[in-house]
Amino acid sequence: MVPYEYYVALSGLLMVLGLIGVAIRRNIIALLLSTELMLNAVNIAFVAFDMKLADVSGQVFVFFILTIAAAEAAVGLGLIMAIYRLRKDVDTETLTELKN
């Protein structure tokens, strides 16, 4: 059986990669994917600590986080499609104004 420390290390690595993706990328789709990566890193950490503590509360939190991530992806992709139809671009540098 794999020790829980490996899962925590993997979770930390995925979180750092997601933070780097959010900080560096200018494409909205890449930002959305980086956010999903960070949410999955939190899920792995919850499951790892759940495995260590032999409790199911971490898995309950994972279920809620997955639900929130699915809703965030659906709303985010809908907004991205609307912005692309309006501006023909999904670069965050060009989306600094809230008006047409």
- Which tokens hold the place of 21? 């993706």
Report the CATH fold assignment for 4-89. Helix Hairpins (1.10.287)
Average pLDDT over the chain, rounded to an integer: 87
d(CA 7, CA 53): 14
Q: Contact 30/71 with Cβ under 8 angstroms?
A: no
Alpha helices in 25-56 (DSSP H): 28-53
- Residue 98 pLDDT: 59
- Residue 99 pLDDT: 59
| Mean pLDDT value across residues 55-77 | 89
Collect all residues with Cβ–Cβ distance below 8 Å to 58 and sequence separation of at least 6.
46, 47, 49, 50
Closest C-alpha to 46, from 21, 10, 74, 2? 10
> pLDDT tens for residues 23-65?
998 888 888 899 999 999 999 999 998 888 888 888 888 999 8
Q: Contact 42/50 with Cβ under 8 angstroms?
A: no
In the chain, where the domains are located: 4-89
